């Protein structure tokens, strides 16, 4: 299976997600991503994401968490941007933005490329917009990230 950043699907949630804890956020975004992307193996995506989060926090700092799932047989990689309000406590800090990644198990290098691009994009976006980045229109954030991934 060949997969690359240019094949990445990018979705976003237009309304904020309200959740009680980080595991609820992870499960919800994994399910919503699967529904939007037409993933047949939703339970495998959810289980992979929850297992990864239980092993170690996916909070990367600056109010961003990047929960992720690697699942055998996915046809391409995908990303789902979600704003969380109010902020949800992750083990290391509060999180207001979640970028859920799902990649085929067969192409772990795509996950590493996506994560690198995502973190660089987020740091730049935070530098440009400060705290206001969390309230920017999600379509604008998704378009900006899509351009970065597909360039």
- CATH fold of the domain at 5-150: Mannitol-specific EII; Chain A (3.40.930)
Q: What global pTM score does this model have?
A: 0.89
What sign for the dihedral angle of Cα 3, 56, 49, 80? negative
Do 126 and 105 contact (CB within 8 A), yes or no?
no
Poorest-confidence range of 48-57, 94-103, 128-137, 142-151? 128-137
pLDDT of 4 > 70? The answer is: no
Residue-range domain boundaries for the chain: 5-150
* Burial bucket for residue 145 (CB in 10 Å: 0-12, 13-18, 19+): buried
- Which residues face 78 on adjacent strands? 9, 102
10 membership: H or E segment, kind and range: strand 9-12
What is the token pair recorded at 66?
């990047």
- pLDDT value for 67: 96
- pLDDT value for 1: 39
Q: What is the pLDDT of residues 73-102, one digit of tens each?
A: 888 889 999 999 999 999 989 999 999 999
- pLDDT value for 9: 87
What is the token pair recorded at 135?
């309230």
pLDDT of 57 > 60? The answer is: yes
């Amino acid at each position: 299976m060949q997969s690359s950043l240019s094949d990445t699907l990018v979705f976003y949630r237009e309304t904020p997600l309200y959740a009680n804890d980080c595991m609820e956020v992870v499960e919800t975004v994994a399910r919503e991503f699967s529904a939007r992307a037409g993933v047949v193996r939703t339970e495998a995506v959810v289980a992979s994401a929850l297992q990864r989060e239980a092993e170690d926090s996916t909070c990367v700092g600056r109010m961003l968490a990047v929960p992720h799932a690697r699942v055998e047989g996915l046809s391409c990689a995908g990303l789902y941007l979600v704003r969380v309000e109010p902020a949800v406590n992750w083990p290391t800090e509060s999180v207001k933005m979640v970028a859920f990644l799902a990649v085929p198990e067969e192409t772990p290098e795509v996950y590493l490329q996506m994560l690198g691009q995502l973190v660089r994009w987020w740091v730049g976006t935070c530098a440009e917009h400060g705290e206001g980045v969390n309230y920017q229109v999600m379509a604008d954030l998704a378009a900006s990230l899509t351009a970065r991934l597909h360039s």
